[in-house]
Every structure is written in C-alpha cells, then in structure tokens.
Structure 1
Amino acid sequence: MAAPLSRRTLLLATAIAAGTPALPYAASAASGRPGAAPRAPAALAAPAAPAAWSVRPFGLEEVTLGRGVFADKRRLMLDHARGYDVNRLLQVFRANAGLSTLGAVAPGGWEGLDGEANGNLRGHYTGHFLTMLSQAYRGTGERIFAERIGTMVGALTEVREALRHDPAVLNTQGRFGTAAENVRGSHQYVDLPAGVLGDTPAITLAAWVRPTHDGAWARVLDFGDDTHRYLYLAARNADGVPRFALTDSGAAGEQGLDGTAALPLDEWSHLAVTLADGTGTLYVDGTAVARNTAMTLTPAALGPLAHHWLGRSHYPADPVFAGAFDEFDVWSRALSAAEIGALRERRAVETPAGRGDLASYAFEETAGGTFADASGRGLTATLRRTWGGPSHPGFLAAYPETQFIDLESMTGSDYTKVWAPYYTAHKILRGLLDAHLATGDERALDLASGMCDWMYSRLSKLPAATLQRMWGIFSSGEFGGIVEAICDLHAVTGEAEHLALARLFDLDRLIDACAANTDPLDGLHANQHIPIFTGLVRLYDETGEERYLTAARNFWAMVVPHRMYAIGGTSTGEFWKGRDVIAGTIGATTAESCCAYNMLKLSRTLFFHDQDPAYMDYYERALYNQVLGSKQDRPDAEKPLVTYFVGLTPGHVRDYTPKQGTTCCEGTGMESATKYQDSVYFAAADGSSLYVNLYTRSTLTWAERGVTVTQTTDYPREQGSTLVIGGGGASFELRLRVPSWATAGFRVTVNGRAVPGTPTPGSYFTVSRAWRRGDTVRVRVPFRLRVEKALDDPSLQALFYGPVNLVGRDPNTDHLECGLYGNAGLSGDLLPTLTPVSGEPLHYTLDGTEWAPFAEGTEDPTHAYFRRSEPRVVLGGTDSGVANPAKDDGTTLLDEIWAEAPFRDKGALVAHVRSTVDAWVEAGLLGGDEGERVVRTARRASYAD
C-alpha cells in the first residue's frame, strides 16, 4: 500500500537509527513508476528526529568521507557493489516463484538451494545487498547504485506477484518445440486428474525429460495414495540411475527396474516403461536398459489411486523434479521396442504408436497453469506448488511459507528444518525499506508494507504463549532486528497494525530480566539477542513504554565491559559465557563480526536518548578495531571479504571468505563498509549543539544551521584533528569528544588561541561561540601506549596506542611473553619500549616481533592478547638485578611504581620509587638490600619525557 506523504518524513528520520540514516521524501520525485528516475539523495533536506531523541544523526549524504582508512575500505566494497551480478542474488527468489532464473547461479554458502541446512536462510543476503546499495547511493550519489536497486526491486515485485497467484507455465525449448520447465526451488509439479490409469493390466509410460539437478529420488512421475501403494518413475535412484517401481506394500515390496547410467543434466532424454504379462522393461533413449520378468503387480492390481503427479514424490523428503517436461504419454498396452524407438525420433502423433490413449500431454502451452490432454479423455492437468500458496498476498521470501508455519509448532531448535525465517524476513524488509528511503521507489515501500501486513496476519492469530515459545528457540526463532525495521516502517505508513506487529515480537522473560538489571546472558546466543534491544529502543520511541528503554540500557552494560574483548567484539562460538570471563573464553571462534555491527547500532541508538560518552567510546573502539579489521584490504569481484569470527587465539589467521562468503557477517560487513560516516557527527534535536564523536577526515553539511564543518586529519596516524567552519555565521556549542583513554594533554584551540577549561577523559569538551566562516578549531589528542587487562586474568593483556589495538604478528601458537616497563617515560607512556618501523606508521617492533594495527585487513598470524612478563626491575633501560616481586593478586612492584605516572620530573619519579619500595620492604615483599638497589637504579637511569 502507498504511504501518505505527510508521514514519510517521520519515517525517514527514525530509520537513521537502523544504520541507514533516513532521507525525507521529495514530493516531486517521479520514482516508483517503472523506468522512473531515482531521486538524488544530495538534493534532500535532513529529516526531523523522533520526539524522544535529544540528539539526531546526520544522513549519509550529509557527511562526505575524505581520504583515509575508511575511504580506502569503502572503495573496495563499492567496487564489489558495482560489479556483482545481482541476478545471482535474485535466483532463489525467482525460483521460489517459478520464474525464470535467467541462467543465474546462486552464490552458494548460506545463499542458495544447496546451502548449509538445506538453504533455509536463503534470501537474507539479498536484503543485506539492498541495504549496501542504498547506503552506497546515499553516500556517493552514483546512479549505478540506484539502477541496481531498481533492478532488484523490480524483480522482487514480479516475484511477489507470481507468488500471489497459482503457478503459471514457464516455457523453454523442448525436444520438438515448446516445453514446460519447473525450475529448481519452485516446488512445482503437474497434477493429473484421477483415473489416469483406469483398470488397465498393461501399460506404457513415456516422457521426454531434461533434468537440471542430480538430486536422488526426484520423480518424473508418482501415481499413488501414500508411501504404501504407488508406482513411480524416478530420474535418479540412490545410485544415480533411473528407476521404475510399483508396490502395494511400501518400499520393501517394490517390484522394479533400474537403469545402468545416469541421465545427463541439461540434456533431453527419453524415458519409457512397458509392463505386461509379468514383464517390465525400462528404455532410455529408445534402448532397453533393464528387464524384469517377475513383475506380478499391474496398475489394475493397485486399484484406483488418489494422486497422479509429474515431478512430485509421495515421500515428502524426496526433492521435487527440477527440469523440463516435453511429451508425456500413457498407453493401455505395452508398446513394442520398435514403437519405443520411433518415439525417440519423432512426436508421438507422428509415430505408429500415436498419442497415448490414457493420457497425452504435449506441454506446448505458453500461458496459464493448465495442460491439455490430447488422448481424447479430457484429463486436463494443473500446475501446482507442493506447499499450496501464501496465506496472504504480502508474502515475499526465497522459500515457501512452510518455514514460518513449521516454526509455530516447534518446541526445540532444528535449523536443518527451520532456520530463522523471521531473521531472513527482517533482512529483506530492511533492504526494501532502505531502498525506498534512498531512491523513493514506491514499489519497495509497497513490498515492505505488504510483508508486515502478511506477518501480522500470521502472528496476530497465535496465542501469546506460542509467540513466547517461538522467540525463545535458539536459531530457529531468531528474528534479528525486525522490530526496529517494523517500527521504522510504521513511522511512514501510520498503520496501527504495523506497530501492533512490532510488539508481537516481545520476548518477555528477556525484557523483564534486563529491565530488572538481572543478568540473563550466560549461555545465550549473542547475535540472536543484541538486535532485539535496538528494536526495544525504537519501541520506546513509538510507545513511550519505559521498560523497553531501561532493558536496553541495562543490557548494554551487561556486555560492555563484562563480555567485551579488547577489539570491541563479543561472544565465543556465537554464545555468551559468564560475566567477566574474558581470558577463559578466548578461542578460534570469538568475536562474531555481526555482534560488533549490532552493538554499534545499539550504542548509537542509546546515545540518541542519553549522551553518555561511554557509548561513543565503545563505538570508536569497535569501529576502529574489529569493524575495520574485519574487512580484508584487497579487491574481489565475487566476495565481500569479511570475517565471520575473529579468533583471538595466539597466531590466528583471519578467514575473510568463511562458508563461501555469504554468512550473516558478510552481509553486515557489506553494510558496515558503506556507512562508516554515520556517527561522526550528531546534532542536538534543537540545533543548539554539534557533537563531534569521531576524528576522521570528513565534511559535514549542516543545512539546518547553514554551515559546513570540514575535518582534516590523518587520525589515528595523526594525534588530533583540524575542523574548519564554512558557510554563514551561526551560534552553537561544538562538543568535542574527549576519549576515555586521553588521560593527559587533550587541548583545543580556536583560530590559534587556547580554549579555557579542563578536558575530562570520557566526556565532551564544549566550545560555545558565534561561529564565522573560516573559524579553525584544532584538537590535540595525545596518544599513549597502554595495556588493557583481561578481567579474569590480569597477566593476559592487549596493547593499545590511543584508540588503536596493536597486535603482534607472529606464527607462534603460544602467547607471546612481553615486558613493557623497561623504557617507560616519565609520562608513564610505554611507547619508548617499542621501536618504530621506518615508513610504516603505527608499526613497531618489540623483541623481534612486529606490532601493527588490528584494523589492517591482512592474513598475517596475529596475537591480539599477550602474556605480560616483567621478571626483573628495569627502570629507564637499566636493570637493577632485582626480581620484580608480586602481591597475591598479581600486582607487581613495577605496576605500583608506574601506576602513579605521569611524573613531573625525574625527582618525582625517584621519590615515588623510594616510598613504594619502603612500603614493600615493610610488608615483607622485598628485601632491604634489594630495595636499595631499585632506588639506586631509579636515580642513575635516564628517562624519556
């Protein structure tokens, strides 16, 4: 349904929270009609924010990335987006609707009919790709992305239209003319009327077939009641050869004929079976390949049968025949070998046998869903789907609705049968909504709205207890960020049913536990639950129900820092373990990339309500480390090259093509790489303040205030940034984030003059003035080398320089042992212990091992954590000869000495060493002579500033 124009700008604002910042509707846009030009994103004004937001983000078209690591990574993904054949993504949708797949081959992995768990997640990747294209168009304005969106939306519109109606014949080139094709994945078969066989004691069955898949037990025909009484002709049995059989006592009683060679794929083959007087013969391409003289059963002996199917088996686990049918005939006698041979060369009507007297189908129809019978008996056949058809005309998916239906009765997880259908629906819905927001295509909005109408029609009929059970099932019941997407859609459609639909996904036990700040996360699947909370924040926006927002706030604090690795990621083997267990969960499958993506979305959405700098501290950590490092630094036309897991075990080599490159994390990785700029700047809802959250080369166009802000920096290679105000004059507060790690030296100047005030780490430093064109703000953000200790093992540490996680590059599979205090400077900075690598910014060596930013997407074996080892007291590069003692909690003498840094001068350091040593000697932790040696070493050593 079309949305009223007066509502559209509201949605376009709220969609920003989803990671595809919103665009308002341009009333003059012609898009939405086939062939209409997409609207230009750069020409649109910024949207209003929901009333609940105290700050709002800017659209991707309002923030332009400059040169740097983000632009470099994005360029690789944009090239992939420009070149990938979208028909490959559409293949599974078209197949599900019985449409031509245009010869396209699905990507594989999770995205295809043969994918993991029977391809039960297929379609999700198409949604991700639509979102990526939408963000790419928003961020660059390049028409190619809008055109690709239009192609995909047009195809999905055709798919839904086909699914709404009974299946229609798909023509292909036949053996003698036109033939009918059932593409693999369509679940289509031909249903013949009852009475085809009558009571004939003898029979000949003949068909031209062109199989396109080698699935065992796909039926050419299956006439029967159930799995007890039937006769069938299979294109391939378990051994890969044709088989004919009939039985009145199930599989054990089958009397059959087996071929000797497999039918070739994508080629026409002629199959025929004759049965009379106890003898059955199987012919392939006019040649007898099997004969059985002990076949006592006949069609007459089976009696009337309930079903007469071409392409479908009575065994539900058997595949539907994929391929094409040309002539199919049934005779009430056994044709001779010569007659069978003639059928191999000519149409039946042109041979001595003539058309089948029991049934005869030429499959020459070019429209509709029925096939005429030329036998004279009037047995018109009908094209059907094994699963019937959608329950609602809004249904759109790449597999049958049975996935959704089966979930409603499931009590436990089995992803080989049902794998997160509502998760997949979310990705498609989000992609369509983003496509509409980016290009104004009304077809995309109609598809998205229809999907929600369909979901409401299903879920609103279910008891509350059923819904609670469904959403609590691991994997099968996963629904991703669908609540967020539905809320965004509701804001544009205004449909009360859409908001009601969003609330049908409430998982009450999770919401209530988190609202009460009772940590329920141990043992839960991480990425199944993180996006739930972004949806809850959006539900709060729409309903004002406080428990939603409270639950989301508390949940975030259960993850950060209690289940967070140094790079910002979370989860091990996709699951959470106990609170504060970090070292104890490190493995080869830690830090699923989707989790970081969704934690970023949640962090920014919470920031819209509470301007807690901790949210943006986390955002910087995860973005500059895991998210950047999850994208490989090389081009690829076929794969996005994004990690699934990031193993944090020693010597781990990142895998950028997991499971053929179509997992959830490749999908979110494509999105991440086309929206890096989404949180660089935020504005107060009333326009009174501008938040600078990230220091990255970029240009903001703040149309509301008539100004631009151009940020020039090489951060994080540069320790600071320069911002220049452009446009007309405006008064507002410029709020500059002071990272929590920036513990000394953060300074701000405006036009060369220092701004008074004391910056506090983990806050925002405010500069308030009437800004003029050309005003220049210089932000100095000094970096220090520091360590972060695993919460459950302080000796296991990660190394950071400013925001950058430095990882050791070494193939050793044991933790590297490193000491860092040896050359520490008076500031407490550990950097002098490292040796810079010439010509390689942010690269260092320590004890022969190179340390480099995690963000670099290489295939080097890495050590994200190392074992801290400070066996001797070394100060200013001078070894005291004294072993470094430790307390019971692991704190060493050197830890306590350097904990008081920075020191104003060497004297202050020596005085602190003296007092610390005396305390340790008095406590019996250090000998008096040893203490004096440590003090003497402190006096004679030299220190960097």
Structure 2
Amino acid sequence: MARPLSRRSLLQAATAAAAVPALSHVATGRAAATPAAAAAADVPSAWTVRPFGLEDVSLGQGVFADKRKLMLDHARGYDVNRLLQVFRANAGLSTHGAVAPGGWEGLDGEANGNLRGHYTGHFLTMLAQAYRGSKEQVFADRIATMVGALTEVRAALRRDPAVLSVTGKFGAAADQVRGSYQYMDLPGGVLGGTSAITLAVWVRPTHDAAWARIFDFGNGNDRYLYLAARDQAGVPRFAVTTSGAGGEQGLDGTAALPLNQWSHLAVTIAGGTGTLYVNGTAVARNTAMSLTPAALGTLRNNWLGRSNYSGDPVFAGAFEEFNVFSRALTAAEVTELQSRRAADASTGRGDLASYAFDETAGGTFADASGRGLAATLRRTWGGPSHPGFLAAYPETQFIDLESRTTSDYTKVWAPYYTAHKILRGLLDAYTATDDDRALDLASGMCDWMHSRLSKLPEATLQRMWGIFSSGEFGGIVEAICDLHSITGKPEHLALAKLFDLDRLIDACAASTDILDGLHANQHIPIFTGYVRLYDETGEQRYLTSARNFWDMVVPHRMYGIGGTSTGEFWKARDVIAGTLSATTAETCCAYNMLKLSRTLFFHEQDPKYMDYYERALYNQVLGSKQDKGDAEKPLVTYFIGLTPGHVRDYTPKQGTTCCEGTGMESATKYQDSVYFAKADGSALYVNLYSASTLTWAEKGVTVTQTTRFPQEQGSTLTFGGRSASFTLRLRVPAWATAGFRVTVNGRAVSGSPEPGSYFDVSRAWRAGDTVRIAMPFRTRVEKALDDASLQTLFHGPVNLVARNAATEYLKVGLYRDAGLSGDLSHSLSPVPGKPLRFTLDGTEWAPFAEGTEDRMHAYFRRVEPKVVFGGRDSGVANPAKSGGATLLDEIWAGAPFRDKGALVARVRATVDAWVSAGLLSRADGDTVVATARAASYKP
C-alpha cells in the first residue's frame, strides 16, 4: 500500500489526477508552501511522471486564455448564496432570500431536484482552480464563504431543528423554509375529542405545490382531518374522514392563496355544518358535515406543515397564531381575528391549543391554552445517521438506494454521485486555500459514508452500483483515495474499496468488452478511481481493467472530436455512423476521458493517451464553451449533436446540469497537462503545444512556450532561470506525418521523429536556450468505422466543420487536387484573414472549437464519382468494394509519395489488383494509369 502523503502533497500527487494539481495556499493568513517545496512533494510510487500545479503553468495569449476569461468572469460574478440555498434549506437555516439556481439544483418538484448539491461541488472546484491559476483573492474569498456556510449547514444538521423566526403579521412567526422537510409535531390530545371546533391560523405560503398541508391530524391514510393550502384545483381544501379519501367530507375554497402574503384561514364545525373562512370571509359551507373530531378518536399524527400521505410535499412558508377552540366561532369573531391577536380579541386564545410562535425556545413551541400541549419542531426524516453527513437533501435518498432494485430518478437520483461532487469540491477548496474546515467536512463525509456502506452485505453493494442512474457514483473513488492520501485513515481506504463494481472490473481486466448498453458517464470516472485504488493498494486488477477499458472506448466508440456516447449510452463496438444523433457526445464523457487518459499516462507514458488528450481538448472541450460571457450561465453544452445541420445548445436542460458543472471545471484547467516531469526529475514532457509558461521550481527553470498553435504550425520554447541537465521530451503528434523538425538555438537536432511518439533532446539547458518545433499540418479525413463513406475532416489536430444550413449530409469530394503528400488541403481555399477557415464548393469550413450557434456538419458523405488526379478527370467512374472503400481510397492510402513516379507506381499496382479481382475493366484501368501519369501534382 502506498504511504500516506503529507497534507501539502495532495495537489502534487493525489488530486493531480483530478486536474487540480497545485500548491496549498492560505486564504486565512497562514503561509503557503513554496513552489520548490511542492515540486519535491511525494507522489504515489506507481507514478513514473508527475504533473505540475495549475499555479506552476500560466496561460499565454490565445484561445485557451480567451475561453478561460469568459468562465472566470462568470465565477467572479455569480451569487454563491444561490448555490448554498439548497444546503441551507435542508438544514433549516435562513437562505437569506437567495433563489436556488433551478434546473437540477431546484428543490423537489422543480425539474427534479434530486441531484441538488452537485453543482455547488462543481462550482467549488472551479473556484479552486481559478484561484490556483490566477491568484485573484476574490476566488479565495468566495471559497471561504461557501466553506463557512457548509460548516454551518453540517452543524445545523447535527442538531435537532430549531425555529427560524421571521417577522409575522403581528410579531414573530415561524418560518418553514422550502426544502427543510420541517414540521411541527403536536401532542395527541390537541383536538380534545370535541364535537364542535374552530381551527384558525395565519399562514404565508411560499410555494404553490398541491396538497401541502397547513395542518393534518390523523392515523395514516384512513382517519384524519386536514387543511391543505392548495388542492389539485389550486384552492384551499379542508376535509375530515374516518374511511380514507373516498369518505372525505370537505370544504373547498374559491381562490388560491397568494404566495408570499399573509392569509388567515379558519374552519368551524358545529351542528352538522362546516364553514371555511379565508381572510374573514366565508368561502365554503357544508351543511352535511356529520363528522367531527369526536368521531376520529385518538390520533397518532398531529402535525402542522406535514401530510399523513407520504407523497405529499411539506408545507413551505410561515406560520403565526394557530388556535384551536372547543366551539364554533361566529363569523364576527373570525372577522375580528383579522385585525388583532387572539389574545387581544374577544375570543381570547384557543382553549384546546394556542401557539403564537414567538413564545419559543429552540425547537419547542409553547402552548398558551393552559393544557400544556407544547409542540416540537421536527424533520420528516429525523436526522443524519452520522455527524459527518452533509448534503442538500435528506439522507433518505441514500437509505432508499440500499433496498432499490430498479431505477427511478424521480425518487432516487444518484445520491453518491452528488456526494462525490461535494466531496471533490471540498477537497479542491482545501488544497487551494488550506482551509482546515473544508478538509474536516470532506473527512466527515467519508466517515459517514463508511458508517453506512460498511454495514451492507457485498451483494447489496454490487446491486446498488449496478443500477443505472440511481447507483451512479461518478468519480467518488478517486476523491476518497485523494482524501486517504492526506488522512491515512484506514476507514477511508476501506470505503474506496466498497465501490468496487466487480462485474465491470473483472470483465475489463479480462479484456471482455461489455460496454454495449451501459451508461457512458456512469462508468468512465469509475476507472480513474480504480487507477487511484491501484496506487493506494497495489492491486493490479484495478490498473489492468482501466487500461483495457480505455482501449474499448478509443477508438472503438470515439467520434472524431474525441467524444463518446449517444443519448448518454454506449452502443456496440465500432458502430460510429450508426450512432450519430442530436444527443451524441455528452460533454461530461469527454471531461472524464481526459482525466482517465491523464491518470493512465502517469503510469505508462504511451503517447496515445496524450494524442487523445489533444484531440478531445482542442476540439470537443474547447468547442463545448460558447464564445461569449453570461452572468447567469456558464454557457457550455450538454450533448454535442453530430447530425447534419446541428445547432449547439449552450443552455441545456434548464441549466445546472452535470455537463455545465464539468464545463466550468474544464475551462479553468486548460493548462493542467501541457507539461509533466519524470518522477526523478530527469525529463520534462511537453505534451501539448499551447502558449504558456512553466515554472519548474525543483530545477529553478522556467520554460516559456510561445505559439499561436493551432493557428501556427509549430511552437517555440525559451528557457530561463538556472542551468539544469535533463531530457526534453517533445510529443510528436500521431497526425504529424508531414514532417516534425526540431532546432536548438537555430541548429537542427538529428534524428527521425516518429508520429505518435516522443522525441528526446538531452542537454544541459541554460537561460536563453531556444527550441523551435515545426510540425506542418496535413488535411486529412477520418472515416466512420462502420461506414467508410461517412467522414470527418481534420487539418492537423483541428476538426473542421462545415457551416451550412442543410440538414442532410453534405456530399464532399476531396481527391481531385490531392498532393503527393496525401494532403487534401489543396482542395480547400483558405479564407483571407481568417486562420483555419476554408471554403469548399461555396461552403465555409471552420474549427469545431469555435463556440458558435451556427448550423454545422461534423460528418459528411464522401463522394468521389470519377477518378481524378491533379484536377485531370479520367472519365472513369470510381469503383467501390462492398465495404465502401473506393479505388481512389486505396491509391491514396499509400501517401505520402516521394515523387510522381512513386504515385504512378501505386496507381498501377492498385489498378492491377482491382482488374484481377473483377472490380475494374482493363481498358478503364489503363485509362486511370495514363491519367495519373499525365497529371501534375502539388507537394
């Protein structure tokens, strides 16, 4: 087992895989660790390279800095109290008038709030990354505000609920915050068994949910007496029954109670007549009201604000002056109660029960009737099973999951996924600001989870984690392992192992592809966690399964932009064209594939991981952020549809989705994988070509990368600081087949860089040394694995999309002017003054990374009807094989060609093979060869 890391080692080690690898810095006055100290920090022994902190790599001018600025502006301006609203409500604390963000961060009944709290975790991570990358105090201050509030929330959840006092109609009132699940529990004798009664109350409802009870006295769903603020018609309803809903005798109001205003309601029953009053006016009368409290007998549940029907919402709003009289007040007496307290009115206070709500201590409401029936404030769910519990909703979701066998996100929606986001945000907050409160909250959450999950049978855990959606737990294993790296508590490591999904681990470890039909983003982050579990335990199956899983996605379920999934799910292996839809490439999937690629690279420096990282980062991730700012929304995509003419939606699903959360994170950590260092300090990896400056404190070296890449086809590295000897490892992208050249101080470095590798330059580096990398771009296509005629276009690393209003696949030909290198760019016309913009047959092609709302075509139908070389038409139809590959495809698959003779030789050999196979006549074949020989070619 790997040894625990010191507190200040976390971001250089454990959370490096979480893309927040940086130094602890204090927002509370303590001194931060120096860069040199962080550079020397421990990393898991299994890591052969280590990352740099976000504060060690600063972004230079360019597309990454531009997109990040938009997100930083959002992070500076958004009111964090809105994010905290759902937490404070759950704890029964004042929400300070804040309005929840809505969408997935709404309360019950608002776009399903069963994931609420997740977005707060994302926001904390974004703030932490923003602070590390910018050192702007505003971000540390906002973190401190949120951590402080969450500390108060946990403390409140640990206690019995306490009255939240607000200004009432006449004095103090008791506020029941929506989302607090609080109600008032009255003693059993409150109705007194009387045959005549008046119940009078002032209420100020704050939500319009149907069937929320102002009061409900009953024995479950058969014998009860209640007053609902709104029935299904939206008006108040009183009812009494001894035989369930079918036997209700009722009184229905005529108008809805206004929200956020005080209303007085009274119900009287006497002599077979019941009357409902609203603000002193009788709005309903029932002269056949034979049932009275005397018929109900002794009742178990006597509640203000809670229904005997478990599916009904808890009343949201304020109460003042609840009085119960053992007689029916007159209309004049009810009217008198509109203008004065009962104590000051001719009625006096209720003789059966009387609560003014200003005569209160803690969670107890004094009864002024003289009967001593003090009421108690309670939560419908009681309280946490462990003091470390922290969430924006009750623990009931976690409890329900333990017996659930099927998914129903309206009841249980991924509670451990939500817990992960909060845990991750707290860890990132701690490592960014060194606020011990955040670490204490994170540690407490894991203590609580261990207390629950460690008691469950193994079979229960396996069933839970296998349930789609409800059992989703995101990257929680990674976060727990990161916490264990700090605390060293054995319970935390044991907790991480309780999330083993053995069916998935064992299948992937055995290279058995079982991904068809699985929810993509439910499973990708699992494997990043399993790699971290390998780091902590040394169990090989974790690492092996993650490696094999990655290979099952890339390229077998990968779209050209690097994304994966359709409608959030995976389909069969190697089916790409057959899965393109308007809901392709969920953005969270790209985010998590980048994290997994990065984490695997720490163990094995296979260039394929960084080739993928570049593909997904420079295309889908950049393109998922709209190129404009917004105070309310981060403006990032959920799905990126790859169907013809798709328009990106940057405000999906009412906001605050998982992808908007990861989108905020992505836009504040663009620099996290530009550079890595070999664990022993002997080499520096340059993984990405991005304008940036690295401060390698351990060596006393700075490296400034100056480039406009990908607009520029190369980059320049300039060294500063002390002299140091190490190997510079420059990634040679797999697409760099047109030549990759390196000079040091103007002199060419010998060697033959191979695409899809790293090119080493070893020397004693000195201040002022300059390394120039040239990597000419080629324009090429990538074919869908299941349909060779469906293709996507790349210029170097840049995916080009057609801007065209058509909603059918565009038909595109590209071979007609192909050069000897195989470069298809000769068929495109550059747009003057617009880098990486081209036109072809009247349609503009632009980088996928541009965050616009133009209709786009990422895939097109490749159509090459005639065999054409160098613009010369042979007149021969371009034949195709049954799999879709054409004669021209096979000829140009041999590119690059050293000269025209090599190309003609390839044409002759290919033609002969097709003639022999009966796919081409000899006469047409000779014509094709003659045309190839007669044509002129560009390089």
Both structures adopt the same fold (TM-score exceeding 0.5): yes
Ranges of 4+ aligned residues in structure 1 off by more than 6 Å = 40-44
- Code of the aligned partner of 2:808: D
Q: Provide the rounded CA distance (Å) in 2 between the counterparts of 1:918 and 1:387.
A: 79
Q: Secondary structure at the match of 2:789?
A: strand
Structure 1 alignment gaps of length 5 or more: none
Query: Could you tell me which residue of structure 2 aligns to residue 561 of structure 1?
Result: 555
Q: Provide the rounded CA distance (Å) in 1 between the counterparts of 2:216 and 2:112.
A: 23
- Code of the aligned partner of 2:11: L
- Are residues 1:121 and 2:121 paired? no
The structural deviation recorded for 1:201 is 1.0
Further displaced range: 107-116 or 559-568: 107-116
Which of 38, 41, 47 aligns to 1:45? It is 38
Which of 191, 195, 220 aligns to 2:189? It is 195
Deviations along 1:8-62, one digit per CA (max 9) or x if unpaired, are 1343333333333334557xx573xxxx579588797333321110000100000
- Are residues 1:17 and 2:16 paired? yes
Query: Could you tell me which residue of structure 2 aligns to residue 436 of structure 1?
Result: 430
* Preserved CA contact (<8 Å) 2:788 2:884: yes
* CA-atom RMSD in angstroms: 1.6
Which of 86, 91, 99 aligns to 2:93? It is 99
Distance 1:733 1:161, change over 3 A: same
The structural deviation recorded for 1:826 is 1.5
Q: Provide the rounded CA distance (Å) in 2 between the counterparts of 1:920 and 1:305.
A: 90
The structural deviation recorded for 1:545 is 0.4
Deviations along 1:884-936, one digit per CA (max 9) or x if unpaired, are 12233333222222222222233333343334334434444333332333233
* Preserved CA contact (<8 Å) 1:171 1:366: no
Which of 703, 716, 719 aligns to 1:725? It is 719
| Pairing 1:326-725 to 2, within 5 Å after superposition | 326-365=320-359, 367-725=361-719
The structural deviation recorded for 1:695 is 0.3
Q: Provide the rounded CA distance (Å) in 1 between the counterparts of 2:155 and 2:123.
A: 22
Distance 1:41 1:262, change over 3 A: farther
- Code of the aligned partner of 2:755: P
Q: Provide the rounded CA distance (Å) in 1 between the counterparts of 2:35 and 2:97.
A: 37
Further displaced range: 253-262 or 7-16: 7-16
- Are residues 1:264 and 2:263 paired? no
Distance 1:795 1:775, change over 3 A: same
Q: Provide the rounded CA distance (Å) in 2 between the counterparts of 1:872 and 1:6.
A: 65
Paired-residue identity, %: 79
Q: Secondary structure at the match of 1:736?
A: strand
Query: Could you tell me which residue of structure 1 aligns to residue 800 of structure 2?
Result: 806
- Code of the aligned partner of 1:721: S
* Preserved CA contact (<8 Å) 2:402 2:460: yes
Q: Secondary structure at the match of 2:672?
A: helix
* Preserved CA contact (<8 Å) 2:743 2:772: yes
Q: Provide the rounded CA distance (Å) in 1 between the counterparts of 2:740 and 2:781.
A: 20
Q: Secondary structure at the match of 2:816?
A: coil
The structural deviation recorded for 1:189 is 0.4
- Code of the aligned partner of 1:883: A
Q: Provide the rounded CA distance (Å) in 2 between the counterparts of 1:576 and 1:523.
A: 5
The structural deviation recorded for 1:174 is 0.3
- Code of the aligned partner of 1:12: L
| Pairing 1:296-307 to 2, within 5 Å after superposition | 296-307=290-301
Query: Normalised by the size of structure 2, how large is the TM-score?
Result: 0.98
Q: Provide the rounded CA distance (Å) in 2 between the counterparts of 1:243 and 1:21.
A: 54
Q: Provide the rounded CA distance (Å) in 2 between the counterparts of 1:462 and 1:663.
A: 31
The structural deviation recorded for 1:940 is 3.0
| Pairing 1:64-143 to 2, within 5 Å after superposition | 64-114=58-108, 118-143=112-137
- Code of the aligned partner of 1:788: E
Q: Provide the rounded CA distance (Å) in 2 between the counterparts of 1:716 and 1:733.
A: 25
Q: Provide the rounded CA distance (Å) in 2 between the counterparts of 1:797 and 1:322.
A: 55
* Preserved CA contact (<8 Å) 1:390 1:401: yes
The structural deviation recorded for 1:115 is 5.9
* Preserved CA contact (<8 Å) 1:13 1:50: no
Deviations along 1:248-300, one digit per CA (max 9) or x if unpaired, are 01111111111111111000011011111111111111111111111111111
Q: Provide the rounded CA distance (Å) in 2 between the counterparts of 1:893 and 1:741.
A: 23
* Preserved CA contact (<8 Å) 2:24 2:32: no
Which of 861, 881, 898 aligns to 1:867? It is 861
Query: Could you tell me which residue of structure 1 aligns to residue 228 of structure 2?
Result: 234
Distance 1:745 1:186, change over 3 A: same
* Preserved CA contact (<8 Å) 1:24 1:44: no
Further displaced range: 919-928 or 216-225: 919-928
* Preserved CA contact (<8 Å) 1:10 1:50: no
| Pairing 1:793-942 to 2, within 5 Å after superposition | 793-942=787-936
Q: Secondary structure at the match of 2:207?
A: coil
- Code of the aligned partner of 1:20: A
The structural deviation recorded for 1:788 is 0.6
Q: Secondary structure at the match of 1:608?
A: helix
Q: Secondary structure at the match of 2:13?
A: helix
Query: Could you tell me which residue of structure 2 aligns to residue 743 of structure 1?
Result: 737
Q: Secondary structure at the match of 2:758?
A: strand
Query: Could you tell me which residue of structure 2 aligns to residue 311 of structure 1?
Result: 305
* Preserved CA contact (<8 Å) 1:823 1:876: yes
Structure 2 alignment gaps of length 5 or more: none
Further displaced range: 335-344 or 6-15: 6-15
Q: Provide the rounded CA distance (Å) in 1 between the counterparts of 2:856 and 2:429.
A: 38
Query: Could you tell me which residue of structure 2 aligns to residue 146 of structure 1?
Result: 140
Q: Provide the rounded CA distance (Å) in 1 between the counterparts of 2:401 and 2:341.
A: 47
- Code of the aligned partner of 1:750: V
Distance 1:278 1:115, change over 3 A: closer
Distance 1:492 1:40, change over 3 A: closer
Q: Provide the rounded CA distance (Å) in 2 between the counterparts of 1:167 and 1:941.
A: 85
- Code of the aligned partner of 2:422: I
- Are residues 1:791 and 2:785 paired? yes
Q: Secondary structure at the match of 1:110?
A: helix
Distance 1:38 1:133, change over 3 A: farther
Q: Provide the rounded CA distance (Å) in 2 between the counterparts of 1:309 and 1:115.
A: 22
- Code of the aligned partner of 2:15: I
The structural deviation recorded for 1:820 is 0.5
Query: Could you tell me which residue of structure 1 aligns to residue 268 of structure 2?
Result: 274
The structural deviation recorded for 1:337 is 1.0
- Code of the aligned partner of 1:355: R
Q: Provide the rounded CA distance (Å) in 2 between the counterparts of 1:147 and 1:18.
A: 25
Deviations along 1:838-886, one digit per CA (max 9) or x if unpaired, are 1111111111111111111111111111111111011111112111122
- Are residues 1:295 and 2:289 paired? yes
Q: Provide the rounded CA distance (Å) in 1 between the counterparts of 2:796 and 2:295.
A: 84
Query: Could you tell me which residue of structure 1 aligns to residue 6 of structure 2?
Result: 7
Query: Could you tell me which residue of structure 2 aligns to residue 321 of structure 1?
Result: 315
Query: Normalised by the size of structure 1, how large is the TM-score?
Result: 0.97
* Preserved CA contact (<8 Å) 1:170 1:181: yes
The structural deviation recorded for 1:69 is 0.7
The structural deviation recorded for 1:117 is 5.9
Q: Provide the rounded CA distance (Å) in 2 between the counterparts of 1:277 and 1:40.
A: 80
Q: Secondary structure at the match of 1:901?
A: coil
Q: Provide the rounded CA distance (Å) in 1 between the counterparts of 2:7 and 2:359.
A: 45
Q: Secondary structure at the match of 1:676?
A: coil
Distance 1:695 1:363, change over 3 A: same
The structural deviation recorded for 1:361 is 0.6
Q: Provide the rounded CA distance (Å) in 1 between the counterparts of 2:12 and 2:36.
A: 16
Further displaced range: 408-417 or 914-923: 914-923
The structural deviation recorded for 1:365 is 4.1
* Preserved CA contact (<8 Å) 1:489 1:498: yes
Q: Secondary structure at the match of 1:540?
A: helix
